[in-house]
Structure 1
Amino acid sequence: MRQLGDLELEIMARLWSWGRPATARDVLTDINKQRPLAYSTVKTVADILYRKGVLARHKEGRAWVYTPTCTRQEYTAALMHDALGSNPDPTGTLVSFLEQITPEETQALRSALRTAKRRSEA
């Protein structure tokens, strides 16, 4: 999965956090609380995200309603998988990553490994 751009991520972050379908107008209203942005810009970027397969959409009246096709966690995991898969030394990359994370993140990783092991054994 290709990494999303800044505005794409800003739109996706809202949709992920809301946990509900939304229109480009809904997203624009929320973004405009922090900075001015044109409706056409949000609409265009939402359409791009749809073409990339990151958003699904359906019509309600005259407006498209958008829904993420993956969770934030699934998106991040796909980026991590791509980064490791394209690296000639995935072990070295993982070691470098582990050297940079906090003790809390290390604990979260251990917990995730235990969960993944239980799921694969089930």
Structure 2
Amino acid sequence: MQGLGELENGVMDVLWTSDSPMTVREVLAKLNETRDLAYTTVMTVLDNLHRKGWVNRELQNRAYLYTPAESREEAAARVLRELLDSSGDPEAVLLHFAQSASDDETAALRRGLRRRPKR
């Protein structure tokens, strides 16, 4: 995901695929299925993601429980919006994207635009 480092993205993937809030230890266990990370590393990444607004946390007993602040799809849309707003020429960016879109993606865009409320 744009704006996230590799480890931050890995942590977000774990949280997005979880059905319930997770502790640092639970996130660490999931990440360590394919890596070897320290508890403090994951704790720091989660703290940074909280500070950046990517995750929410709630203190339960003596441990924080972490949840994504928004769904993966909402985050991707927000990042895309930020890219368009900072591009200098959002129309050109959208046209380049439309040219690269697959048939399925084009159909999804058409469906979404038809359902969009008139402004």
2: CA distance, partners of 1:113 / 1:20: 33
TM-score of the superposed pair, with normalisation by structure 1 = 0.88
Match of 2:87 in 1: 87
Q: CA deviation at 1:4?
A: 1.4
Q: CA RMSD in A?
A: 1.4
Flag as ranges the 4+ runs of structure 1 deviating above 4 A: none
Residue aligned with 1:19, SS: coil
Match of 1:3 in 2: 3
2: CA distance, partners of 1:54 / 1:88: 25
Match of 1:63 in 2: 63
1: CA distance, partners of 2:40 / 2:14: 18
2: CA distance, partners of 1:38 / 1:100: 40
Greater shift in the superposed pair: 97-106 or 43-52: 97-106
Q: Gaps (5+ residues) in structure 1?
A: none
2: CA distance, partners of 1:108 / 1:13: 24
Match of 2:24 in 1: 24
1: CA distance, partners of 2:112 / 2:8: 28
Q: CA deviation at 1:114?
A: 2.2
How many residues get paired?
A: 117
Residue aligned with 1:27, SS: helix
Q: Gaps (5+ residues) in structure 2?
A: none
1: CA distance, partners of 2:38 / 2:113: 44
Match of 2:42 in 1: 42
2: CA distance, partners of 1:80 / 1:59: 32
